[in-house]
């Protein structure tokens, strides 16, 4: 074990979720025992409520909090829940960080969002570009709420000495992802469309937008490794991108997933639906320089593993 983790209690908010499960596994690889990990489940702790945050700290007595929990979804979910997503994400961070200050927490790790970047950020996105414009409109309330927590952590560091760091992971994918069509992101949504179309014998799938927008994706296990390395080694106030450093258009992504799933039908584009942010691709040099992180999983390899996981999981439910 890295001595950093010895005799420390670690709370992972959202630890039962997609990224949280990968983070738990990664921490155990780094020598953290299951007994050191505390996961506040939503059934017991509604972290949007101050009283529940206070009770979580009292019950779990953490030395480190890694705050992954978020209310989030794809473009459609963001359009339907702008107020809820702003409130829930702002409230969780606000209460958790304030209690961290009050209790003299050793370290607070805030996992932010790529949606915090301005709509027309030059590619590749550099951390210093965070404040150069307004986020893409469909996810701006969510992105701004998360970005406000960066300001809070920097202010609390300046005034109170709270050691809080802020990480900006790009779009995640991998086994265990959310495949609910009402709230899933683009990769699980496309995998589900292709696999379901094959199973149902359908000869086409429908996709939102024009296909011209680009995105970057990082395998969830790689993102977890980046979070662990940052927690161990980084104590600065600057935000840090966590990504893979490449981009792919949505059109090319759909075609790739269709090929990997074996879907041979037509792809129909609904141009009346929004594309979202025009391009997304991160400058990942700061993470490498500050704590030696580089993503390792080849995109096709990661997609195949995700497709295989979804097919296994679907078969279990049948």
- Mean of pLDDT values over 208-214: 92
Looking at residue 74, its pLDDT comes to 76
**What integer pLDDT is reported at residue 205 of this predicted model?**
96
The rounded distance, in Å, linking the Cα atoms of 221 and 175 is 9
What gap in Å lies between CA 21 and CA 214, rounded to an integer?
Answer: 27
The domain spans of the chain are: 3-171+217-245+280-296
| Distance of alpha carbon 161 from the chain centroid | 27
User: In the predicted model, what is the mean pLDDT of the chain?
Assistant: 95
E runs forming strands in the chain: 10-13, 37-38, 64-67, 107-111, 164-169, 171-173, 204-208, 214-215, 217-219, 240-242, 248-249, 266-270
User: If pLDDT is split at 50, 70 and 90, which confidence band does 55 have?
Assistant: very high
Alpha-carbon distance of 7 to 63, in angstroms, equals: 9
Catalytic residue (one of 142, 166, 173, 234): 142
Split at pLDDT 50, 70, 90, the class of 318 is very low
pLDDT above 60: residue 317: no
Residue 101's DSSP bridge partners are: none
Kindly indicate whether the domain formed by 3-171+217-245+280-296 is annotated with CATH number 3.40.640.10: no
Is the Cβ–Cβ distance between 11 and 24 less than 8 Å? Answer: no
Is there a catalytic annotation at residue 310?
no
pTM listed for this prediction? 0.93
Cα separation, 245 vs 174, in Å, equals 17
pLDDT at 171 over 70: yes
How high is the pLDDT of residue 315?
66
**Tens-digit pLDDT profile for residues 102-146:** 999 999 999 999 999 999 999 999 999 999 999 999 899 999 999
pLDDT tens column, 228-262 = 999 999 999 999 999 999 999 999 999 999 999 99
Confidence of residue 152 (pLDDT cuts 50, 70, 90): very high
């Amino acid at each position: 074990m890295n001595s950093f983790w010895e005799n420390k209690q670690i709370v992972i908010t959202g630890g039962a979720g997609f990224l949280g499960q990968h983070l738990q596994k990664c921490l155990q690889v780094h020598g953290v025992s299951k007994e050191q990990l505390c996961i506040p489940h939503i059934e017991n702790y509604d972290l949007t409520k101050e009283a529940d945050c206070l009770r979580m700290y009292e019950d779990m007595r953490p030395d480190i909090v890694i705050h992954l929990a978020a209310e989030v979804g794809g473009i459609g979910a963001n359009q339907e829940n702008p107020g809820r997503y702003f409130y829930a994400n702002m409230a969780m961070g606000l209460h958790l960080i304030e209690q961290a200050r009050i209790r003299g927490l050793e370290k607070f790790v805030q996992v932010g969002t790529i949606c915090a970047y301005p709509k027309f950020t030059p590619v590749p996105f550099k951390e210093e570009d965070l404040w150069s414009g307004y986020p893409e409109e469909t996810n701006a309330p969510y992105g701004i709420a998360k970005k406000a927590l960066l300001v809070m952590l920097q202010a609390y560091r300046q005034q109170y000495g709270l050691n809080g760091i802020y990480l900006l992971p790009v779009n995640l994918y991998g086994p265990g992802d959310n495949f609910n069509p009402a709230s899933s992101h683009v990769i699980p949504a496309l995998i589900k469309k292709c696999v379901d179309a094959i199973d149902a014998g359908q000869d086409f799938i429908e996709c939102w937008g024009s296909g011209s927008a680009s995105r970057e994706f990082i395998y969830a296990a790689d993102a977890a490794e980046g979070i662990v390395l940052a927690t161990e080694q980084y104590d600065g106030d600057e935000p840090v991108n966590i990504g893979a450093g490449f981009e792919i258009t949505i059109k090319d992504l759909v075609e790739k997933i269709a090929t990997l799933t074996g879907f041979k039908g037509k792809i129909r584009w609904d141009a009346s639906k929004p594309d979202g942010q025009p391009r997304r691709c991160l400058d990942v040099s700061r993470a490498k320089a500050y704590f030696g992180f580089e993503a390792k999983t080849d995109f096709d390899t990661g997609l195949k593993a995700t497709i295989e996981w979804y097919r296994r999981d679907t078969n279990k439910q049948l």
